[in-house]
Structure 1
Amino acid sequence: MSDDDFPSESPSVRDVVGRTDGETALAAVVEKPRTETAIESLRAEGVYDDSRRVRETESGTIALPVTEPPSETPVLEVVRQLDPEVRLTDVEDVLGARGWSTDDLATVPSSWAVIGSVVMVSVPADCPDELELADALLEVHGEADSVLADEGIANDGVAGTHREPRTRLLAGDPDTETVHTEHGTRYGLDPAAVMFSPGNQAERARMGDVCEPGERVFDMFAGIGYFTLPLVRAGADVTATEINPTAFRYLVENAMLNDVSERVDAYMSDCREIAADVEADRVVMGYYGRSTEAAPPEDECGRGGGTRSDEAAEFLPAALEALVPGGLVHYHEATPEPRLWDRPLERLESAADTAERELTVLDRRRVKSHSAGVAHVVVDARFE
């Protein structure tokens, strides 16, 4: 069912049969597959109520707490709940109510990621009870169905190209396939099977803002469509390559999910194999290397280090092979803090010299922290 199947006017309010002596509150009823999209829309509209728990109805639909009937978000109906469930919004409060001591609460992670209906959390080694922690996360995030322990990245040994998450199910539904919605873009994925970094959200949104309708874009490391989808939704025509079969399947499915398949030319291949056949006004290089804990610290010449970020630079010749004169490259790299911004700029200048092209740096941005002492950065560069 699409959003067009729902009425645009504000729905009337219906009472839900229940206790008559309790507090009443409103809830917007939606079909379960639309839960994440509806929550994002209700939040944007300013009517979502985070103080109450999400409920599943007897018919299998989902009742989302709202402060007033929505006027912009399509819903099945709005009901008046009797005796609504208030939820604690702080994990430490939930665990404290369950008897955790002050020392125990000090081990609670300071952050975690909510990807669609899945919570991803890195569990500290000194956590007294990871299962109770997971249950508390489910209570705080009423729309979530599962909690996964994030245990880092499993590499397949082929230049890090098949970066896959290592996870364990801690609580909830073992089926962790979900739809994550950001700024109107829908990403179908299984966080237990493919990578998804909430920390890149601003950069994904930026891609939809910087391109012009009709631009030809080469997304060299498309994944499930992290950058491809915002670009095509903004009107670009994207050639997208992805070598991981699972991620590629989601890439194709997500193009259909967002109704942009006609503007995505997807290839399950190494991006270097088709670069010569691509003419791009813009190239997105979202892959920046892989972590290797066994590597020694980087020296003053940029050798070694805990991140094989040199792999990102190895793809620059292919990027420039596909780029038309005057085109733009978004070059991502994981760079040690002492080398900001010297190393990425040196590598771009070297690639420009080799290709006999003139480089102009337009912007440089810190995306997020990659690891201790290492920043994920992106440089926007024009090559004449």
Structure 2
Amino acid sequence: MSERDADRRFAVVVAKPRTQAVIDALREEGVYDDDRSVRSWDGDSVAIPVTDPPQSVEVREVVEQVGEPRLRGLEDHLRERGWTDDELDAAPSSWAVVGSVVLVKLGDSPRPEEVGEALLALHGEADTVLARGGIDGAHREPDVTFLAGEGDTETIHTEHGTKYALDLAEVMFSPGNEAERVRMGKTVEEGETVLDMFAGIGYFTLPMARAGASVTAIERNPTAFRYLVENAMLNDVSERVTPYRADCRDVIREGLSSGEGLGGDGRVDRVMMGYYEAHEYLDSALSALSPGGVVHVHEATPDDLVFERPIGRLEAAAADADRSVEILDTRRVKGYSEGVAHVVVDARIE
């Protein structure tokens, strides 16, 4: 093989909105090249690196990239910009691509704008980079800062077939919860009735509805609610999603008193509590849950109280309602903050 042949590498050209779906399909076929970056191709498409032309993935065209530098990560891109070892030590260690937007935690990183430009070079499918701050207020609104690119914060993010339209400057999105969102789509059964008490833009509602569940989705943030309704239509599940812009306690109280909505008799087979302070609403959640139903409780818990505290709170709420608890599963989803973990407890309530 000549030196020129050894340097020859392939890429597939696809429309930019299909980037993540195509990458997932290429990974499944075993031809996605992790050693190279996705790069912009023209105004509306990207070139995704592959080890060989794919056989089962539909693409616009297969192209050759000869002599393309193998920049493996952010550090390589920053070194090209003259960063020293000390500066690289302070560079971001985590970021996520959400649709066409890169979300990055800057920490103590120097030269934030260069970080943004490097991330755009690393992720050709993205056109905007935002620095992530915290989540503030009763409506869980994100604090983000523009770093680089076009500045368009509205996007559509596709995750295992579920489409999420959102504005990352207006509503929260946690990339670290992806496994939980996917898991809930696999956990529910077709025909189940589900109450999602803190639905947001449809984080858990959408995969559950796509799996065939009928979901009562409650969200009081008007911006998130607008995207919730839009996303139900975007995923063709509007007939299985009943959205309410209200306080979840009011919806539950009305459903129980009228015997309508929720599960038809005011109660449901499953309750999703995907909010870190969900324990404050456990009494309402259990009142809406049919005997033998399942509740999924998310909580931000200090490391030394992981599982002990959320299980204790759940058992206390059940005792107050004269009901029993069977713990089905416990999971540590991710780190929430220093010394605090995001955990989930699944329990059957008799």
TM-score by length of 2: 0.89
Q: Aligned runs of 1:209-288 on 2, under 5 Å? A: 209-276=186-253, 277=255, 278=262, 279-288=267-276
Higher share of residues assigned strand: 2
Which structure: greater helix fraction? 2
Contact 1:151–1:167 (CA under 8 A) maintained in structure 2:
yes
Which SS does the other structure have where 1:48 is aligned? coil
Matched length: 336
Q: Which residue of 1 aligns with 2:259?
A: none
Q: Name the TM-score, length of structure 1 as normaliser.
A: 0.82
8 Å contact from structure 1 (residues 40, 181) kept in 2:
no
Residue of structure 2 equivalent to 1:34: 18
The answer (yes or no) to whether the contact 1:26–1:78 under 8 Å persists in 2 is no
Query: Relative to structure 1, is the Cα distance of residues 223 and 200 closer, same or farther in structure 2, using a 3 angstrom cutoff?
Result: same
Question: Residue 107 of structure 1 corresponds to which residue in structure 2?
Answer: 90
1:45-102 CA distance string (max 9 Å, x none): 3222344444444573333333333333333x32333546435122112212221112
2:312, 2:299 → 1: CA distance? Answer: 12
Alignment partners' CA distance in 2, 1:58 and 1:286 = 40
- 5 Å-filtered alignment, 1:105-184, equals 105-125=88-108, 127-155=109-137, 160=138, 162-184=139-161
How far the C-alpha of 1:24 sits from its partner, in A, is 4.5
Instruction: Specify which of 36, 61, 75 is matched with residue 78 of structure 1.
Output: 61
1:290-369 equivalences in 2 (<5 Å): 312-369=278-335
RMSD of aligned residue pairs (Cα, Å): 2.1
Alignment CA distance shift 1:337-1:51 (3 Å): closer
Cα deviation, residue 43, structure 1: 2.5
For the residue of structure 2 that corresponds to 1:324, the secondary structure is strand
Specify whether residues 71 and 269 from structure 1 end up closer, same or farther in structure 2 by C-alpha distance, changes over 3 A only.
Answer: farther
Match of 1:11 in 2: none
Q: Secondary structure at the match of 1:314?
A: helix
Q: CA 1:128 to 1:32, structure 2 compared with 1: closer, same or farther past 3 Å?
A: closer
Whole-angstrom CA distance in 2 between matches of 1:246 and 1:281 = 28
Q: Could you tell me which residue of structure 2 aligns to residue 61 of structure 1?
A: 45
Asked if residue 90 in structure 1 is aligned to residue 56 in structure 2, the reply is no
- Residue segments in structure 2 that go unaligned for 5+ positions in a row: 256-261
CA distance in 2, matches of 1:141, 1:270: 39
Aligned mates of 1:78, 1:118 — CA distance in 2: 25
Q: CA deviation at 1:361?
A: 1.3
1:298-336 deviation digits (Å, cap 9, x = unpaired): xxxxxxxxxxxxxx2221111112111110000111111
Letter in 1 for 2:323: R
Identity of aligned residues (%): 59
Secondary structure of 1:109's match? Answer: coil
Partners in 1 of 2:85 and 2:46 — Cα distance? 36
Q: CA, structure 1 residues 248+280, in 2 after alignment: closer, same or farther (shift >3 Å)? A: same
Uncovered stretches (5+) of structure 1, i.e. residues with no partner: 1-19, 290-311
Change (3 A) 1:94 1:39: same
Within 2, Cα distance between the matches of 1:317 and 1:70?
53
C-alpha offsets along residues 180-222 of structure 1, whole Å, 9 cap, x if unaligned?
Answer: 2222222222222211111111111110121111111101111
Q: Which residue of 2 aligns with 1:4?
A: none
Tell me: CA distance 1:57–1:338, structure 2 relative to 1, closer, same or farther (3 Å): closer
Q: After the TM superposition, which residues 196-211 of structure 1 pair with which residues of structure 2 at under 5 Å, given as runs?
A: 196-211=173-188
Does the 8 Å CA contact 2:104/2:130 hold for their aligned counterparts?
yes
Aligned partners of 2:14 and 2:47 also within 8 Å: yes
